[in-house]
Structure 1
Amino acid sequence: MTIAAANRRLSASERPRRSLSNGRVTAALVLLPPALILFSLFVMLPLGESAYYSFFNWNGYGTPTNFVGLENFERIAGHSIFHTAVGNTLKIVAVSLFLQMPLALLLALLIYRKTPTNAVFRLIFFLPYILAEVAAGLIWSFVFDGNYGITASVAGFFGADSFFILADREWAFTAVMTVIVWKYFGFHMMIYIAALQSVPEDQIEAARIEGAKRLQIVRYVQIPHIKPAIIVSAFFAIIGALQVFDVIIPLTNGGPSNQTHTIVTYLYTFGLTRLNIGFGSAVGVILFVAAITVAVFYQRIFMRGKQA
């Protein structure tokens, strides 16, 4: 055995001792079991029960006994309203990625520097995100009210007829997406502001000395530095779009004619409120699989380089 091999074997045998000496193993033994217990009780157990209930025609009372196999999933696949809900969810994903995030980045580039004025603007733009989703939905339902809201006042000012946008099949979901952009762009803006403040000022000054214009500095200096923040922001936007619920219920409750449902509001309306827990559980399983699939592929495709 060579001296190098002996040293490697010795160092390998010393690693457990070092771990024990610096407290890592002790910390893991103390902290990991409570975390695993909580994760199992509040995540894995409900998921397992939901997957089990999805194979039953069950109203939530008593023990499920009416086994229907994959019938709930077949009903979901053939339900036109579920197709509408999936399409609406994909629209929210698109709007979040191609409208909400660019708007947030634009505002972040304008107010990321630490000045008293910019601090005020940050607070103003971030306030909608702090506001509770239900409260935001109620506020905007008043804004869009064709009788007493701001929409009615604007229409009356121009002498036009009142327009009930939330009751219109063509425009209701556009109003919903407007509220979603208004509600969440401040969250992404703050992510970008934090990232922009970490960009080295000497690189920006060097680009200015070289004659770079403002847009060139943004494109070739600032955006490359904040690319990890943009990747994380996009992940939050996609996952958040899959979970939209609280804003829609006070605004439209899925109407008119079930045209503004997302996957979650569809689950709530056709599962919980109608006491069709087995059907709702099947929708929940589909949503969980979709979220996990998005997370895994996003991690492998976009975050792999970041981790490296």
Structure 2
Amino acid sequence: MSTLTKERTVESVAAPPPPPARSRLSRWGAWASVAWFLVPALLLFLVFVLAPIVVAVWTGFFKWGGIGPMADFVGFANYTKLFDDQVFIGDLWRGLYLILMSVLVQLPFALFTAVLLNQKLRGRAVYRMLFFAPYILSEVVTAVLFTMIFLPGAGMADHLAGFLGLEGLQGKWLADPSTVMPTLFVVMIWKYFGFHMMLFLAGLQSIPSEILEAASIDGAGAWQRFRYITLPLLGPTIRISVFLSIIGSIQLFDLVWVMTAGGPNHSSETMAIAMFQFGFKRYQVGYASAISVVLFMISLVFSLFYQRYVLRRDLSGAVTSGGGR
């Protein structure tokens, strides 16, 4: 056999057979199925998320009242004005106040309640329902309810303050700049701590009881079991709860709007309240868009930072390659 014949024989053996037509059709069918489910979601995301963000960024470069064409281009003047505005700087500080109080007061209170209700306590199902029930109510209903409770002169809070000898607080709950933010935070705790309590309860119930029993047999007390076993194993739940609490505090709007509308004298105003005021009350849509962009960037940067440096170890095993390979 000649050398040329041998080379052709090797090439004919080594060449892979062409894929069958049915395999190609099934592959195209799989991609068509993916597109059928994915494209509508992408369109909704484009229309209701990305498009409003782009419009807000573009509008923030104009001095525009919301009616007529955007012709008065001012560049970064809205943003310069924003960070020169002492009221907006106060909004940032008030947002930080809500974040710190939520993380340092609300979440420990929710964790303590969850640990308590995770014990063998008579009627604990009823307590869980009662503590979680406020979260089911809408923010507007909650705000109207507490507006009546803190009503000057006739509200339950004034009567309770008089009974406890705290007459100095009567009529000041939502009307005095020194008390309005703590009062709003009390309402926030009542409204949202039940949600975090249920998150912690779910995390506590996922901890194997055998580990706690083994630690108890080895002589570990209740505090030692909580400090060295329960708390570390509850870490992923705590980190998620902290994330949700911070994002909720940054974007807080409807509860404050119904109760105080940012008053008195901007002392309870948040960034979301300021955005609404300028956009729909004062018809300064360009300036309101600049506020919305800043609010979005704060939330985005925090979310990326938190996911990158805090949630990384929780998410490291959540995504795997296809087929486990």
The residue that corresponds to 2:73 in the other structure is 67
Can you list the C-alpha shifts for 1:193-214, whole angstroms capped at 9, x where unaligned?
Answer: 1111110011111111111111
Q: TM-score, normalised by structure 1?
A: 0.89
Which amino acid is 2:260 matched to?
T
The residue that corresponds to 1:49 in the other structure is 55
Can you list the C-alpha shifts for 1:25-64, whole angstroms capped at 9, x where unaligned?
Answer: 4542221111110000000011111111111111111221
> Whole-Å Cα distance in 2 between the matches of residues 157 and 35 of structure 1?
57
> Whole-Å Cα distance in 2 between the matches of residues 297 and 249 of structure 1?
29
Q: Kindly indicate whether the alpha-carbon contact (under 8 Å) linking 2:279 and 2:288 is maintained by their aligned counterparts in 1.
A: yes
- The structure 1 residue matched to 2:159, chosen from 143, 148, 153, is 153
Structure 1 alignment gaps of length 5 or more: 1-9
**Mapped pair 1:298 → 2:294:** no
Q: Kindly indicate whether the alpha-carbon contact (under 8 Å) linking 2:102 and 2:246 is maintained by their aligned counterparts in 1.
A: yes
- Give the drift of 1:163: 3.1
- Give the drift of 1:270: 2.4
> Whole-Å Cα distance in 1 between the matches of residues 31 and 233 of structure 2?
36
Q: Kindly indicate whether the alpha-carbon contact (under 8 Å) linking 1:113 and 1:197 is maintained by their aligned counterparts in 2.
A: no
- The worse-fitting range, judged by mean Cα deviation, of 158-167 and 36-45 is 158-167
- The structure 2 residue matched to 1:171, chosen from 164, 168, 179, is 179
Which amino acid is 1:96 matched to?
S
Which amino acid is 1:107 matched to?
T
Q: 2:88 aligns to what SS in structure 1?
A: helix
- Structure 2 counterparts to residues 248-287 of structure 1, below 5 A: 248-287=256-295
Which amino acid is 1:78 matched to?
D
- Give the drift of 1:266: 1.2
> Whole-Å Cα distance in 2 between the matches of residues 115 and 70 of structure 1?
59
Q: Kindly indicate whether the alpha-carbon contact (under 8 Å) linking 1:145 and 1:164 is maintained by their aligned counterparts in 2.
A: no
> Whole-Å Cα distance in 2 between the matches of residues 96 and 248 of structure 1?
15
**Mapped pair 1:38 → 2:44:** yes
Which amino acid is 1:52 matched to?
W
- Structure 2 counterparts to residues 123-162 of structure 1, below 5 A: 123-157=129-163, 160=167, 162=170
Residue correspondences, number: 292
Change in 2 beyond 3 A, CA 1:149/1:31: same
- Structure 2 counterparts to residues 195-274 of structure 1, below 5 A: 195-274=203-282
> Whole-Å Cα distance in 2 between the matches of residues 116 and 296 of structure 1?
43
Question: Between the two proteins, what is the percent identity of the paired residues?
Answer: 36
- Give the drift of 1:261: 0.6
**Mapped pair 1:188 → 2:211:** no
> Whole-Å Cα distance in 1 between the matches of residues 292 and 88 of structure 2?
12
- Give the drift of 1:115: 6.8
> Whole-Å Cα distance in 1 between the matches of residues 101 and 163 of structure 2?
31
Change in 2 beyond 3 A, CA 1:263/1:24: farther
**Mapped pair 1:117 → 2:139:** no
- Give the drift of 1:296: 0.5
Which amino acid is 1:255 matched to?
G
- The structure 2 residue matched to 1:78, chosen from 84, 89, 104, is 84
> Whole-Å Cα distance in 1 between the matches of residues 100 and 163 of structure 2?
34
> Whole-Å Cα distance in 2 between the matches of residues 269 and 68 of structure 1?
21
Q: TM-score, normalised by structure 2?
A: 0.85
- Give the drift of 1:186: 0.8
RMSD: 2.1
Q: Kindly indicate whether the alpha-carbon contact (under 8 Å) linking 1:155 and 1:163 is maintained by their aligned counterparts in 2.
A: no
- The worse-fitting range, judged by mean Cα deviation, of 108-117 and 46-55 is 108-117
**Mapped pair 1:90 → 2:78:** no
Structure 2 alignment gaps of length 5 or more: 1-15, 317-325
> Whole-Å Cα distance in 1 between the matches of residues 224 and 196 of structure 2?
22
Q: Kindly indicate whether the alpha-carbon contact (under 8 Å) linking 2:82 and 2:88 is maintained by their aligned counterparts in 1.
A: yes
